[in-house]
Structure 1
Amino acid sequence: MAELVFFSGPMDCGKSTLALQMHHNHAVRGRDGLLFTRLDRAGVATISSRLGLSRRALEVDDTTDFWSLVVDRRTHGHPVDYVIADEAQFFTALQVEQLARVVDELDVDVFTFGITSDFRARLFPGSARLVELADRVEVLQVRALCWCGARATHNARTLDGLMVTQGEQVVVGDVEGGGGEVAYEVLCRRHHMRQMTAAVARAVLPVDGR
């Protein structure tokens, strides 16, 4: 039976890499799929990995109707065996429900990839609905690391290396940003709660301190 699967983890843990690998694995076996993304750091209509991999995809916005897109494609004679949806945290709750309907009524596998919580450690609406509806929620095994070496579980928004705790929920940035730009840094829970980024740690701690 088809499944709705949510692959989740903090930034920098290989979600987009896995999405592209999964698409490759299905495509080489002769399966036809659709790729979706929203607000990828590389630009519109692109799924990109920090390892340098990228592929064109369909860009999602608030008006995207996954059910109608899959039904229309099939109506016009184009098979859809699976759906890959990256940056799924940015989807609306209704869009997640559409994906669940695609699985249940059209027997199409749907593999979604996204961050669970935002820079305030609050659930994204799309991720919350995926946790509620998915047949499986998979935590990626590639561990993103906090500056202290512990497993990173939280995403911090930074400006000039300092953690920002207020602002819009969705601001596109990357873990490699800096120089006055909004950027993101993955932290363990302890250092996220303390708002201790790598830059702050370098300023206040001994070389081997935590």
Structure 2
Amino acid sequence: MAELTFWTGTMDAGKSTLALQTNHNHSARGRSGRIFTTHDRGGEQQITSRLGLRHDALEVTPDLDFWQYTVDALTHGARIDYLICDEAQFYTPGQIETLAKIVDELQIDVFCFGILTDFRTRLFPGAARLVELADRTEVLQVEALCWCGKRATHNARTEDGIMVVEGEVVVVGDVEDLQGPPAEVAYEVLCRQHHRRKLTAARAKAVSLAPEPLPFG
């Protein structure tokens, strides 16, 4: 039976690497698939991994109809055994529902990869719908780490090196390069405590790391 699977983790946890590895494993067994992504840091129509892996992909726009695309391809003689859907948090809830329909009615496996929450710690609509509909939701076992060494659970956005918690939800950027100058827009993974305190790695170097005073006394 086909399944809708959602693989999730913070930025820098290896989601795109796993997406490409999944495609490789299935294609090596003679299965035929399609790769989709959107807002990839490497540009349109490609899926890239921070390890240097890269593959051509179909760009997902808000008006892409997965059902129509798949049915048209099958009608014209194409073989599709599975779909790889990277950056699935950016898909619309309707598109996620269509992917579930493809699994149920066409018996095509759909593997989705994405993060759960945005830089404001709120669920992406696409990711929320995936959690509601997926046959399985798997958390990546490769843990991204906060600068303090704890497991990173939140994605932080920085603008010119300053962490922000307001703004447009979708702004493309990459994980901050701590060795270079602050990027105009970048992201950093943090544990909950340091995300709440807006304490990025750069700011931690400039301020005391004394714990916050207790709210009494």
Residue pairs, 1:55-134, within 5 angstroms = 55-134=55-134
SS in 2 for 1:6: strand
SS in 2 for 1:103: helix
Mean Cα displacement is larger for which, 120-129 or 179-188? 179-188
Normalised TM-score (structure 2): 0.93
- TM superposition shift of 1:200: 1.0
- Tell me what 1:3 maps to: 3
Mean Cα displacement is larger for which, 32-41 or 158-167? 158-167
Distance 1:165 1:189 in 2: 14
SS in 1 for 2:95: helix
1:196 to 2:199 alignment: yes
Distance 1:172 1:95 in 2: 21
- TM superposition shift of 1:159: 1.7
SS in 2 for 1:47: strand
Corresponding pairs, count = 208
1:54 to 2:54 alignment: yes
- Tell me what 1:24 maps to: 24
Residue pairs, 1:150-189, within 5 angstroms = 150-176=150-176, 179-189=182-192
Amino acid at match of 2:207: V
Amino acid at match of 2:67: W
Distance 1:4 1:180 in 2: 36
Residue pairs, 1:140-155, within 5 angstroms = 140-155=140-155
SS in 2 for 1:195: coil
SS in 1 for 2:156: strand
Q: Is the 8 A contact 1:80 1:108 kept in 2?
A: yes
- TM superposition shift of 1:180: 4.4
Q: What stretches of structure 2 of length at least 5 have no aligned partner?
A: 212-217
Distance 1:18 1:44 in 2: 19
Q: Is the 8 A contact 2:151 2:191 kept in 1?
A: yes
Cα deviation, 1:37-60, whole Å, max 9, x if unaligned, reads 001000000000000000000000
SS in 2 for 1:34: strand
Identical-residue share of aligned pairs (%): 65
SS in 2 for 1:179: coil
Distance 1:12 1:180 in 2: 17
Amino acid at match of 2:120: R
Q: Is the 8 A contact 1:161 1:198 kept in 2?
A: no
Normalised TM-score (structure 1): 0.96
Q: Is the 8 A contact 2:176 2:183 kept in 1?
A: no
